[in-house]
Amino acid sequence: MLNEFQQPLKLLNRMTSCSVVLEAPVQRVAIFGGTHGNELSGVFLVKHWQKNGAEIQRSGLQVTPFITNPRAVKKCTRYIDCDLNRVFDPDNLGRKVMEDIPYEVRKAQEINNLFGPKGSDVAYDLIFDLHNTTSNMGGTLILENSGNDFIMQMFHYIKNALAPESCPVFLIEHPNLKYATTRSIAKHPVGVEVGPQPQGVLRADILDKMRKIIKHGLDFVRIFNEGEEFPPCTIEVYRIIEKVDYPRNKNDDIIAIIHPCLQDQDWQPLNKGDPVFLTCDGETIAYEGDSTVYPTFVNEAAYYEKKQAFVKTVKVKLTAKGLRSSSS
């Protein structure tokens, strides 16, 4: 029979166990570089790690650095036929291989066979997909699913490890915006977006930010696999709500550019009446929304073709359940 001291302890243990998610240990990790061939930090790091991978190895983990779009990397261009980071959807992954199939769709199918199949039990546990941006986003972590406790716990760990340096979390979950990213074939997809860095250029400070994020992410996986229990945590994220195009004329030509007051102000509050665009005639176009938003991907070079001047986000807080490896 339990005594008066043991009974509350047993109840506390039961309550604690109920609030903890048991996740399978992470065994296979991939680090993707070159999804966009002119985003060179990931290309540089992955090629280095393919030759000397000691830095990314952790006990009990199989970590595979991989160049996803080698032809685009060789040409130092974003893509050959279409954006590789948008074609990991069922239609493209299921297309018959024909001579006229876009190069990136063919690569997506190959990558899915190597690291997936997407949505299957045998897919890789975790994929870090390394990207650069010309926008002033700093070292940003991209979250695809607000219900993934494992990734939110990882992001909480990375943010604390990097503090006081900022490390924003960008939540791309949206009912009407589907990305079909390269990393989405993994059980736990992690996007890493670091800038500002021009396309086709390497900057040491940007490279260092990316490298630190990967280090701390892999450290988290090792600690998790070793049986560390992570208590519930709350993280602040920026949730996408809308993509904003440049003002255009009837010929679809851009007629205004990002205003100097908005340029390089990623993650900063944008309020009603604040300058957003500037015409060649000197006219300022102001933000007309009633609520505060937080722009990001401001004036991203790669998004001109996508008709996107910036993305509007709102700040929200997400809570992750406690986490422990099911093997511990």
The token pair at 32 is: 């993707």
Ligand-binding site membership of 292 (annotated): no
68 is annotated as contributing to ligand binding: no
To the question of whether residue 86 is assigned a binding role by annotation, the answer is yes
Annotated binding-site residue? 183: yes
Question: Pick from 50, 75, 51: which is nearest to 64 by CA?
Answer: 50
- With b for 16 or more beta-carbon neighbours within 10 A and e for fewer, the 289-308 pattern comes to beeebbbbbbbbebbeeeeb
Q: Tell me the residue length of the chain.
A: 328
Is 193 annotated to bind a ligand? Reply is yes
- Catalytic residue, candidates 193, 228, 242, 283: 193
39 assigned to a ligand binding site: yes
Is 193 a known active-site residue? yes
Per the annotation, does 174 bind a ligand?
A: no
Sign of CA dihedral 271, 274, 277, 283: positive
- 35 annotated to bind ligand: no
What does DSSP say about strands 188-195 and 169-171: parallel, antiparallel, or unpaired? unpaired
User: Would you say 294 is a known binding-site residue?
Assistant: no
Please tell me whether 140 is known to bind a ligand: no
Q: Kindly give the pairing relationship between strand 20-23 and strand 322-325.
A: parallel
Opening angle at CA 221, ends 218 and 157, nearest 5? 80
Annotated binding-site positions: 36, 39, 78, 85-86, 131, 179-183, 193, 303
Annotated binding-site positions for Zn(2+): 36, 39, 131
Annotated binding-site positions for N-acetyl-L-aspartate: 78, 193, 303
Annotated binding-site positions for substrate: 85-86, 179-183
Looking at the annotation, which residues are catalytic? 193
